[in-house]
Amino acid sequence: MELEVRHLRALCAIADTGSVRKAALQLGMTQPSLTTQLRRIETSLGGMLFTRGQTGSRPTPLGHSVLSRARPIIAEMAALVSAARDAAGGVGGLRLRIGSIGSRAVTGWLRRIHQRLPDTDTTIHIDVSSNTLLQLLATNQLDVAFVQETPGLPLAVPPGVERRVLIACEPRFVCLSDRHRAAGRPAVRLRELAHDAWIVDPTADDEVTALRRVFTAAGLDPRLVHVRDATTAAELVASGEAVRPAQPTAAPAPGTVIRPLHGDPLTAQLSLASRPGSLPLPQLDALFADLMASYVDLAAADTTYRAWLDRSGSPLLPSVGSH
């Protein structure tokens, strides 16, 4: 069997959905057809690519290796098709393709863009992985991307991609049940959460590595629970089963609170990435200003984050105070 791009798309769909059944629905196939195709691919490559269990399909080490090579190929193919169609038929109208990590700032960002550019066809691609967004940007599938980077764990920035820093050091807070013993504290120490399970998203860039590094430095070894579904994660936290890291601008789900971590052991740098020449500089400046304004609005409206900004003397504080 000779591997084709459609086979690589099938593997990525299984990995992304965590299920052969869901991947089949996404691909417009029947589950038996996709299962048969997967078996043929595995036979061709000489090993199992996924483990199957009650929790779904998870990539094996061989699967991770294949997927890491398959994704760039798919991205390049999509870019080729997009460029060819544009060249053949011409691009009608104005188009702006935005990528972003999950953030509440995105809603306000898009609202400002629509108000400023009402005749532009604006699309948004949300992904938990900043590295994936940067790859899409590098292959001309996005025009700009809102990304984050963990200190000490640099992103794989493709050649030709530039970043403009939005927030140099954003703290990561912790989300916990409103019945948790530390829920009433203005800031929570890591040791107070040493016996709690921590929810992490295994598909997020370096989240697991960053947490383990922080715990090791503090002499702690809490249990990590891998959860990709945000709704399930929120329910587990509300029930008191676990805690999880949270963006300072995040809104707490019912039954939960969000608190700063004492000493800010977890931080991230937020930036807007672009390719030189992909957009006129004034437009790029305006997109950056729109995103910053949206972020500042969220910070201004959140009493917990405002208090943290006040204590830390953040340069964002004057902007917050003016709103």
Residues 70 and 95 sit within 8 Å (Cβ to Cβ): no
Token duo for residue 49: 């690519």
| Res. 76: pLDDT tops 60 | yes
Q: Report how far apart, in Å, the C-alpha atoms of 109 and of each of 121, 156, 311 are.
A: 15, 25, 27
What does pTM read for this prediction?
A: 0.71
With 80 as the cut, is the pLDDT of residue 11 above it?
yes
Amino acid at 211: L
Mean pLDDT score across all residues of the chain: 90
Mean pLDDT score, 175-200: 95
Reduced to 3 states (helix: H, G, I; strand: E, B; else coil), residue 153 is: strand
Tell me the CB-side half-sphere exposure of residue 230, using CA atoms within 13 A: 9
Vertex 193 angle, CA 188 and 195, to 5°: 165
pLDDT band at 43 (very low <50, low <70, confident <90, very high): very high
CA distance 286 to 282: 6
Nearest residue to 7 (alpha-carbon basis) of 65, 55, 59, 70: 70
The pLDDT tens digits of the residues spanning 89-113 come to 444 457 899 999 999 999 999 999 9
Q: Which residue, among 140, 94, 131, 86, has the nearest Cα to 276 in the 3D structure? A: 140
CB-neighbour burial class of residue 235 (10 A; exposed 0-12, middle 13-18, buried 19+): middle
**How far is 56 from 183, CA to CA, in rounded Å?**
34
Dist CA 253 CA 250 (whole Å): 9
Question: Residue 90: what pLDDT?
Answer: 42
Which pair of tokens denotes residue 240?
A: 């008191």
Helical pair 5-17 and 20-27, crossing angle rounded to 10 deg:
130
Which residues, in sequence order, are bridge partners of residue 163? 273
DSSP letter for each residue of 34-87: HHHHHHHHHHHHTS--EEEETTEEEE-HHHHHHHHHHHHHHHHHHHHHHHHHHH
Secondary structure class of 124 (helix, strand, coil): strand
pLDDT band at 83 (very low <50, low <70, confident <90, very high): low
The pLDDT value recorded for residue 77 is 84
37 pLDDT band, cuts 50/70/90, is: very high
Query: Given a cut of 70, is residue 252 above it in pLDDT?
Result: yes
